[in-house]
């Protein structure tokens, strides 16, 4: 029952997210440029993302969120959190729902324009920090481990960013810090598993799509959710 409820909610929220993203309000235009229609845009100096092809209806967004939330409902069942006021249990459930929802929105944008928006980064970081503290408020050492792991992941990816000459974007560096913090609250093994899964998914996508340059953010989010829910 919990799986069906979570999946149905994911389908509804996913459809709302799909319609919002299909307005393409996240695309950037150069300063002084005008866009057609009622699409709200952000202006920058030398980027014109409105010239990119249309991403289509992206019907898969609500499907992906429904599957993700159904998995959360399976691994963090509502029966488990009925012992109110078990703050940590509720934080675990709500944290994964929020993480997967925000992460999906960022992934959709990254797939379209190869950019992870700062607004989404901030939202994901705040959600992860707040719910992470609620989960481990009685275990301060786990919080310190999460902080250290997040910084370590960010440092490794920053070095990779420099070595790749920007092929691995700074957005991925910011994202992996949040993912590292969130997963380290479970275990360090989960962090390593998530990074391995993310790399495998990214390589598989590259081979299937025959693209040497692609967005890594979606696979980092997917690897984090898979490892966090199934590898402890």
pLDDT in tens, 119-150: 999 999 999 999 999 999 888 899 999 999 99
Token output for 63: 């499907």
- Percent of the chain scoring above 70 in pLDDT: 90
Question: What is the band of 2 on the pLDDT scale with cuts at 50, 70, 90?
Answer: confident
Instruction: Tell me if 143 sits within 8 A of 177, measured CB to CB.
Output: no
| Residue ranges per structural domain of the chain | 67-230
For the chain, state the CA radius of gyration: 18
Could you tell me how far CA 26 lies from the centroid of its own chain? 16
Per-residue model confidence (pLDDT) at position 138: 84
Least confident segment among 12-26, 40-54, 207-221:
40-54
CB count within 10 Å of CB 135 equals 22
Per-residue model confidence (pLDDT) at position 31: 65
Query: Which of 3, 9, 126, 2 is closest to 62 using CA atoms?
Result: 9
Whole-model pTM: value is: 0.90
Average pLDDT on 148-162 reads 95
Average pLDDT on 10-39 reads 80
Question: What is the band of 104 on the pLDDT scale with cuts at 50, 70, 90?
Answer: very high
Question: What is the band of 36 on the pLDDT scale with cuts at 50, 70, 90?
Answer: very low
pLDDT above 80 for 1: no
Per-residue model confidence (pLDDT) at position 46: 63
Q: Tens digit of pLDDT for each residue in 191-213?
A: 999 999 999 999 999 899 888 78
């Amino acid at each position: 029952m919990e799986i069906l409820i979570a999946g149905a909610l994911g389908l509804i929220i996913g459809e709302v997210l799909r319609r919002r993203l299909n307005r393409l309000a996240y695309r950037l235009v150069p300063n002084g440029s005008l866009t057609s229609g009622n699409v709200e845009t952000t202006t920058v100096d030398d980027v014109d993302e409105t010239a990119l092809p249309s991403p289509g209806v992206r019907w898969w967004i609500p499907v992906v969120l429904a599957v993700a939330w159904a998995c959360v409902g399976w691994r963090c069942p509502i029966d488990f959190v009925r012992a109110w006021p078990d703050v940590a249990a509720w934080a675990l459930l709500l944290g994964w729902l929020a993480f997967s929802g925000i992460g999906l929105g960022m992934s959709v944008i990254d797939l379209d324009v190869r950019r992870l928006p700062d607004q989404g980064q901030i939202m994901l970081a705040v959600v992860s920090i707040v719910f992470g503290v609620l989960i481990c408020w009685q275990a301060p050492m786990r919080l310190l481990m999460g902080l250290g792991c997040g910084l370590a992941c960010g440092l490794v990816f920053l070095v990779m960013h420099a070595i790749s000459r920007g092929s691995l974007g700074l957005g991925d560096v910011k994202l992996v810090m949040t993912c590292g913090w969130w997963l380290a609250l479970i275990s360090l093994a989960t962090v390593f598993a998530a990074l391995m899964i993310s790399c495998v998914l990214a390589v598989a996508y590259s081979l299937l799509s025959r693209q040497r340059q692609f967005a890594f953010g979606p696979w980092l989010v997917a690897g984090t959710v898979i490892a966090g829910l199934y590898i402890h």
